[in-house]
Structure 1
Amino acid sequence: MTTFLSTADDALIAEYDNEDDEEMYNNYYKDTKYQLLDEAIIPTNFNAQKEVRECRVCSDRSDGAHFGIDSCRACAAFFRRSVVMSKTYVCRQGGNNCVINKSVRCMCRKCRMRKCLEAGMLPENVQNRRDPIIPRRQDENNFHQIASSSATDMAITSPSPSENESARNLFVNTPSVNFPSYPPLKCNVDEPSLLIKIRDGYRNLCAVRRGIELSMNPESIKDFFSQEMDSEKFTPATTRKCTQFYRKHMPSISGFVMDTFDDFRSLEGDDKRNIFHAFLPNLWTIDGAYRTYKLYSENRIDNFSKYMITETTYIDLENLDLFLADAPTTKTSKSNLVSMMKQSLNGPKLKALIYMKEISITEEELGAVIALLLWNPNIDNCSPEVSNFIRECRGKVFQQLHLLYKYNKLDNYAERIGDIMCLFTCVLHQTTRMREDMELFNIFDVFAEDSFIYNIIRQ
C-alpha cells in the first residue's frame, strides 16, 4: 500500500528547501567515476542493486514514498516547493524533453517538474502549511482491475545485478523524445514494468554508444557534456568507421540484453549466443530507423537525405561516395559500388523508418518491438524447449502492451497492435534484404580488410 508524506517526512524535506541547484550540478563532475572499457571511457555503476529502490523522477536512491511515489528527498522538496509557491518554469533548452537524472536533475526545472507529474506525484498531497497529514491511500483499483483482466498473470520483471563484468553506465544522456500519441506508462506497482525497463535500458544503451563514438574522436570532447548533439555535428559514416564503431558497441549491447531481459540470463550459453547473434542485425535495423526518425520532424521525414547509421554518423543518401570512400575496390569500380549502394538504400528497403512516422511510435512501443525482435520465433537451430521458452517470453511482451494500452485508456487497441506487428515485420524484411546486399558486397571484396559486420549479418 502506498502511503504519503507524513509530518516528520515533510519536516525533513524542508532541509532541502534552500538547496542550491547550481551546487548540485557542480557536484556532478566530482561524483562521476570512470573506468577504461576496451578503449572507450564509460562511467561505472551501470545498474542499481536489486534491493535498492530508485527515485521515480531522477533514479537516485529513494528513501520512501513522497506525494504518491518513491522519490528521493531532493525531488520531493523540489516538487513541494514548486507547488506551494506556484512556480512557473521555462525549459532552458526549449524542447521540454531534457534528460532528468541524479547527475543533472537540476539543469532544467521545467522538465524536472514535468517528470515529477508524469511519474505520479500528486499536487493535492502537498501541505502548504505543513499541518498534520492524515495518511491517505491512492486509488489503485483501476490499475489492479486492468492487470487482473489479462488472460494470465502479467510477469513483472525487476532489475538484477548484471552477469556481464563490463561496466556500462550513462556517460552522456540521450534526451527522450516526446510523442503525441500515448504518454509514458504510469505504474503504481513497486517494480517497473518490462516496457519501462526496456525503455530506460535502451536510453542508456544509446547514451553509452554515443559516449564510445565521441571518445574515439578527440575533437568531440566538448560534446560529452551536452544533453543532446546538434545535428550539424553529426559526421558522414564510412565503411571502416562504421565497422570500428559496431565492434566497440558490442559490450554495451550485450550488457543491455543481459541487464534488461531477465529471461535471457536464464538461458544456456549456446542458446544465448544463438539468440543474440540473430538479434544483432535486427537491432541495427531498428536502431538506424529510430535514430533517423528522431532526427527528422514529421513534416520532413518523407524527404530525408541522411540515414543515421550510428549514434553520431550518418549515410548521406545523396552522396554515397562518402560512405564508400575507404572501401576496397579490387574487383569493381567505385562507381559500381555506389550504384549497388543506391539500390540497397532505396525507399522500400527503408520502410521501417517510414512506418515509424506513420504510426508515431512511442518509446514504450519501440521497447516492445525490440523485445519481439529478441524473442524472434524464426531463429534457426533452436530446440523445442527453447522455442517454447521464446513463445512464453513473447506472450509477456503482449501482456505488457495490453496493460500499456488499457492503462492509457485505449480500449480499442487491436489496430495499434496490428501496427506494431507490421513494424516488426518491416524490420525483419529489411534485415533480410540487408543480408542479401551484404552477400553481394562481399563478392566484390568490400569486407576484405575487415569482415566483422559481414560475419555477424550472414546467417
Structure 2
Amino acid sequence: MSGQESMRCVVCGHISHGYHFGILACRACAAFFRRTVAENKIYKCRGNRDCPVNKEQRNICRACRFAKCEQLGMNRTDVQMNRDPIGRKHDPTKATVECSTSGCQITPIPTIITVITSESLEKQIYATTNPPTNLVPYADVGSWTTLERLRTGFSNYNTSQKSLYNVLYPGKMFADDAKVPMDRVTQSEFQKMERGCISLIYSMLNDFFLPYKDLEKETRLLLLHAFELRFGLMQGIFLTTKFVPPVPDNLWVVQYGQVLDENNMETFFDLDGNPAATAKAMKSVCNRLRKVRKMFQRQNTDETEVAAMAGVILWNEMNLLTPQWEPCSQIREQILGELHNYLISKNGLCGTGARIGSLMCAIHDLNTAAKEIREHQTMEKIFYSTTCAFDINELL
C-alpha cells in the first residue's frame, strides 16, 4: 500500500483519496460536502450537535458531518457548481435521490427515483386530463427524500380523511372540538365514506408514492385495488392506537370518526346476505389484526414508520403483478434503507433491526387479513349477490 493510500480522511477516518476542497478526504465525505454546498442544503441536528462522525457512523447526522467538514478546513469556494470533480460525470437527468432522512444520510443506493425540480413535478402531477383532487395542499416535494415524501403523503391523507368526514357529516364540526367522534357505523355508512377515501388514496399514490403515477392506467388501477384494503386496515389500526383517551379493546377505528364494535359486529353488516357468518369470519380477522395493534402500541409506531410500511406494501404488490420489473426491488431497498437510518437517528442502533423486523411481520399479518376478507367477499358475491364491494373504476 502506498503512502497516499494509507492516509486517512480527516473527517471520518476512512482511507482518503487525496485532497478535496483543501483537506485529505475520502470520496464519500468529499461528495457529501460538494453536494451540500452545490444544492445549498441546510441540515438540523436532532441531538446536541456532537454526534459521532467516523467511517461507521458518518451517515447518522448530516448536520454534524457538514459542520466537521467546515471546521477541519473544507472550503465552500472550491466547489465547482457545474461539474462533479469526484469520479465520473453524471447525466443530470439520471441523478438519483439520496437514501437519507431528515438529519441522516447513508451511502446512496441505486434507484429509479429521480431528482425532480418543482417545475417538472408540477407538470407531472397535473398532466392528466382529470387530476385527482387533494383536500390538503402540500409543498414542493422535489428535493425530499423518499421517506419524507411517503410520510407527508400519509399525513396529508389522514388530514384529508378528517376533512372528508366533516364534509359528509357537517353537523359534527360543531361538536366538542376536544372530542374526536366515535360513531358506531353500519356497512352502508362505512362504504359512503370509503368511496371518497378511495379517491384520496389514489391522489396520495399519484402525488407522493413515486413512480406510481408513471405506470400505465390499467396497472395503476390493479395496484390500487390490491393496495387500498391493506392500507385501510393499517391506517385504521394506526388511528386506533393513537386515540386519546385509549380506545377500548373491543372497538376498532375503521376510518376517521367511524368505529367497529367487535362485540356487536352483526349490526355493522346491514348490506350482507348472511351477517352472522360474516361477523364470525371478521372475528378471525380481528384476532389476526390484534397482533398488529398490540405491536403498534408496544413500539409506539409513528407516522413515518407506517408510511414506510405503506410504501413496502405498495411495491410488494407491484412485484406480484410484474415480477420482472426490476425497479420494485430498488424502491423497496431505498425505503428500507432510509427507514433504517431514520430509526437509528431516533432510537439509536440498539433494537433498530428488531423494530424493522416487527414492522415487516405486521405487513405479513395485514396481507393475510386482507386475503381472508377478499375471499369472504368473493363467497358472498357468489352465494348471496350482495353489494358489499364496489368497482374502483367507477370512482376514479
TM-score (norm 1): 0.56
Determine if contact 1:352/1:430 at 8 Å carries over to the other structure.
no
Distance 1:402 1:345, change over 3 A: closer
Displacement of 1:212 = 1.4
Q: Could you say which residue in structure 1 is the equivalent of 2:345?
A: 407
Query: Which residue, 261, 265, 286 being the options, matches 2:234?
Result: 286
Q: Could you say which residue in structure 2 is the equivalent of 1:195?
A: 147
* Counterpart code for 1:316: D
Q: Could you say which residue in structure 2 is the equivalent of 1:266?
A: 214
Matches within 5 A, 1:170-249: 170=136, 191-222=143-174, 226=177, 230-231=179-180, 233-249=181-197
- Partners of 1:291 and 1:219 lie apart in 2 by 22
- Partners of 2:108 and 2:321 lie apart in 1 by 32
Displacement of 1:341 = 4.9
* Counterpart code for 2:390: F
What secondary structure does 2:264 align onto?
A: coil
- Partners of 1:251 and 1:396 lie apart in 2 by 27
Displacement of 1:274 = 2.5
Q: Could you say which residue in structure 2 is the equivalent of 1:19?
A: none
Q: Could you say which residue in structure 1 is the equivalent of 2:365?
A: 426
Displacement of 1:192 = 2.6
Q: Could you say which residue in structure 2 is the equivalent of 1:340?
A: 280
Determine if contact 1:236/1:315 at 8 Å carries over to the other structure.
yes
Matches within 5 A, 1:43-442: 139-141=64-66, 147-149=105-107, 160-161=121-122, 162-163=125-126, 165-170=131-136, 191-222=143-174, 226=177, 230-231=179-180, 233-295=181-243, 304-324=249-269, 326-329=270-273, 332=274, 336-337=276-277, 339-341=279-281, 343-376=283-316, 379-382=319-322, 384=324, 386=325, 388-408=326-346, 410-412=348-350, 413-442=352-381
Cα RMSD over matched residues?
Answer: 4.0
What secondary structure does 2:348 align onto?
A: coil
What secondary structure does 1:315 align onto?
A: strand
Deviations 1:312-369 (Å, cap 9, x if unpaired)? 1111112224313x3254xx4x5x3465255344423432222212322122111110
TM-score (norm 2): 0.64
Instruction: State the aligned residue count.
Output: 299
Q: Could you say which residue in structure 2 is the equivalent of 1:5?
A: none
* Counterpart code for 1:213: Y
Q: Could you say which residue in structure 1 is the equivalent of 2:16?
A: none
Deviations 1:2-54 (Å, cap 9, x if unpaired)? xxxxxxxxxxxxxxxxxxxxxxxxxxxxxxxxxxxxxxxxxxxxxxxxxxxxx
What secondary structure does 1:320 align onto?
A: helix
Deviations 1:423-450 (Å, cap 9, x if unpaired)? 22121122122223323443553x6245
Distance 1:343 1:383, change over 3 A: closer
- Partners of 1:402 and 1:235 lie apart in 2 by 37
Deviations 1:353-398 (Å, cap 9, x if unpaired)? 22212322122111110100110157544251x2x12111111111
- Partners of 1:277 and 1:210 lie apart in 2 by 22
Displacement of 1:118 = 8.8
What secondary structure does 1:405 align onto?
A: helix
Deviates more, 1:417-426 or 1:337-346: 337-346
What secondary structure does 1:452 align onto?
A: coil
Identity within the alignment, %: 16
Displacement of 1:290 = 0.9
What secondary structure does 2:316 align onto?
A: coil
Q: Could you say which residue in structure 2 is the equivalent of 1:105?
A: none
- Partners of 2:65 and 2:142 lie apart in 1 by 12
- Partners of 2:355 and 2:220 lie apart in 1 by 31
Determine if contact 2:225/2:392 at 8 Å carries over to the other structure.
no
